Structure 1
């Protein structure tokens, strides 16, 4: 039964991620339609992420006492409305508005879906079940996101939002029909949850998350534009690369879920190494098509578990406040999306899209530094605890 809940959560996350990141594959077309620059079109992604970053923890706290099924249905319904309205190519200000609205409940959905998935699980199975939910990111990357990019190339960019609406509708039906009512039996006090913000290891794990996601999204936010300009691939080839990227991402997510059960820090560090390795490989591959295909496969494998790793890494520092810790992971991850997208857009305008991956190297090193400092802080705390005893 627990796995069933995890798969339902995964389906909803596919809808959420298709809406949030489906815009990546059509940014050039949206920019052309509204006659704006690519960095301004990127606001459709960065503004979404910024709202999540600023409101996620508060929304999660406010909804922590509401029936979890109702919360998940409300969140997916708003995502459905966003897809429908966006498909009619409204004025840019309205497109931006309806893109922002579901962002208020995105972290609430993820935190709730994870909580539901592990609610009846054995401790040694929780990371694996979280991996199933987070597979929604990789599955969306390999299916709905490239499909919406492909169909927008075949017809027009508005069809990408039709795909998003259809996926949200299916997820809404499945949650409504297959998930039982889940009233919250014991609501934790706000104070007991907020207390984790005073713990140094948790703060450092939060910064690791922030720098890691910033590193990845400085280039991934402009995936289509990067492959168009730096690697000279057309829209059709970009959609195929998205399929490949996501396909390897599913494998990466599955393997990461298994590895996290054994060692959270080493798993996080292993996949984080991609922020340092992938830019070098992209540079070495140059214009060689087959070499780039191999690098994109490696990129997808190492990138896709980033949200799973970030959440697990943070939750491991605050196991008694899972939902709030995960909402913070989602918020700071999306703050990383905002910063990565903003910096990436600035680099494109000032230097050229081929330089974007090197931002990932810089922030990847910052993330490793935070991991080192967290390990040092935990070691110091253990030593002090031993001395007191």
Structure 2
């Protein structure tokens, strides 16, 4: 794997840390800025809103720029957002800073996923994307627990100061390791936007929203489940979050090679396993041992869905994948916000702390149904109207290399989608 993937993973580590750490620091921020915890919760929503707005907007604005320059600009904006967060004099400024820090999130992962796939052989594209996302999973194993502890002991401003330093390191790594990768000249933004009208791309985005919403319907209330139902002490919550991160890391490592081998079967299997784990989660949390095992399993199967979901959208928009890839990151954040809201509704109705598990299982099952429907429609479509990975025009790889035409003049490199 190219060293450039390390730079992308470092960037993902910083982004993942700042995205999730606020959940553990809300009481500290609320107390320091003289507001309530529910009001401080708007800081989480502000970041998610920044992701949803920034993903299509910044991708469109940078569509004609060299991909390396785009990555550097996005990571620089992320770093500034975290620096302003660390120095924010009041709640309103911090709210705006969180929105600013969230703006480049979706666009960075959208562009980064395309860059990662372009730098390796076609057969290793999913593994390259999974390597970048590995930084996000490691953020949940190391970054979030350590940053939360730092914020609790030293102050929440120190946490965002450290994330700012990580952002600077990521900028330096991107500048040193990522090669120059020109943007697609043919079609430009109109072509990118046109890819979003592909029914298969839209079904892929819908799969992401429903499939991944189940993860956050449970994750958002994990701390309360562990303390109020399982009986763990509040000090154990950091360990629980770290175990979730361990599961995420395992899921990312497993999903990459499987997605390269068979895209749709991996997606179906991951979503089916996720629905099963979520359905069993309310039972598992009744016992300490099974609860901790279920947390690892949830992280594993939950994050095993992310690589095939991302590759599915990129594959079906392969002639113009950048905007679709960024839109999928916005879909992930819609899933985060929607899942948390639906889980909260279940609890507010008096169904109990474990009720989000059953609602989440239904969401994951819905995502699986959408994915299967997309697969059936794709198989039924006339061969000439399908977007089949590996056939026709493909973006040039890093260094300006191109595919070698087969006999008869058609370029073809078999990918996971061809073998479905």
TM-score past 0.5 threshold = yes
Residue 270 (structure 1) aligns with: 269
1:120 equivalent to 2:119? Answer yes
Shift of 1:181: 4.2
1:316 equivalent in alignment to 2:315: yes
Structure-2 residue corresponding to 1:356: 356
Q: Does the 8 A contact of 1:44 with 1:99 survive in 2?
A: yes
- Please give the alpha-carbon distance, in whole angstroms, between the structure 2 residues aligned to 1:118 and 1:384: 25
In 2, distance between residues paired with 1:304 and 1:257? 11
| Number of residue pairs aligned between Structure 1 and Structure 2 | 385
- Aligned counterpart, 1:57: 56
Structural mapping, 1:228-307, within 5 Å: 228-307=227-306
Q: Give me the whole-angstrom Cα distance separating, in 2, the residues matched to 1:34 and 1:225.
A: 24
Paired with 1:265 and 1:354, the residues of 2 have a C-alpha distance of 31
Partner SS for 1:64: coil
84-93 or 213-222, larger mean C-alpha shift: 84-93
Question: Per-residue deviation at 1:9?
Answer: 0.9
| Contact preservation (8 Å) 2:54, 2:105 | no
User: What is the CA RMSD across the aligned residues, in angstroms?
Assistant: 2.6
Give the alignment's TM-score, normalised by structure 2.
0.83
Change (3 A) 1:16 1:28: same
1:138-153 residue pairs with structure 2 within 5 A? 138-153=137-152
- Quote the Cα distance in structure 2 between the aligned partners of 1:52 and 1:249: 21
CA contact (8 A) 2:204 2:312 kept: yes
Question: Following TM superposition, by how much is the alpha carbon of 1:204 offset from its aligned partner in structure 2, in angstroms?
Answer: 1.2
Look up the match of 2:378.
378
> Residue deviations 1:291-343, cap 9 Å, x none?
21111111111122333232112122222222122111111111212212333
**Structure 2 CA distance for partners of 1:130 and 1:365, relative to 1, 3 Å:** same
What's the counterpart of residue 91 of structure 1? 90
Corresponding residue number in structure 2 for 1:331: 330
Q: Distance in 2 between matches of 1:328 and 1:220?
A: 23
Partners of 2:88 and 2:94 within 8 A in 1? yes
CA–CA distance in structure 1, aligned partners of residues 282 and 198 of structure 2: 40
Instruction: Say which structure, 1 or 2, has more relative contact order (CA 8 Å, 6+ apart).
Output: 1
Deviation string, structure 1 residues 101-150 (Cα, Å, up to 9, x no partner): 12222222112222322223221111111111111111111110121123
Distance of aligned partners of 1:94 and 1:226 in 2 relative to their CA distance in 1, 3 Å threshold: farther
Deviation of 1:39 after TM superposition, in Å, equals 4.8
Q: Relative to structure 1, is the Cα distance of residues 63 and 124 closer, same or farther in structure 2, using a 3 angstrom cutoff?
A: same
Counterparts of 2:80 and 2:353, CA distance in 1: 33
Q: In structure 1, what is the Cα distance between the partners aligned to 2:135 and 2:318? A: 23
Structure 2 CA distance for aligned equivalents of residues 194 and 89 of structure 1: 36
CA distance in 2 between partners of 1:211 and 1:95 (Å): 30
Q: Secondary structure at the match of 2:381?
A: helix
More helix by percentage: 1
Distance 1:6 1:291, change over 3 A: same
Residues in 1 aligned to 2:34 and 2:365: alpha-carbon distance in whole angstroms: 37
Partner SS, residue 319 of structure 2: helix
User: Residue 5 of structure 2 contacts residue 116 of structure 2 at CA under 8 Å; is this kept in 1?
Assistant: yes
Q: Provide structure 1 residue ranges, at least 5 long, that are not aligned to the other structure.
A: none
State the alpha-carbon separation in 1 of the partners of residues 234 and 171 from structure 2.
Answer: 31
Contact 1:5 1:116 in 2 (8 A): no
| C-alpha deviation, 1:163, in angstroms | 3.3
How far off its partner does 1:345 sit? 4.1
Between the aligned partners of 1:167 and 1:237, the Cα distance in structure 2 is 27
Q: CA deviation at 1:208?
A: 0.3
Normalised to the residue count of structure 1, the TM-score between the two structures is 0.89
| Equivalent residues in 2 for 1:116-195, closer than 5 Å | 116-184=115-183, 186=185, 188-195=187-194
Say whether the 8 Å CA contact 2:14–2:163 is kept in structure 1: yes
Query: Which is further off, 353-362 or 258-267?
Result: 353-362
The answer to which of 199-208 and 300-309 deviates more is 300-309
Offset at residue 384 of structure 1 (A): 9.0
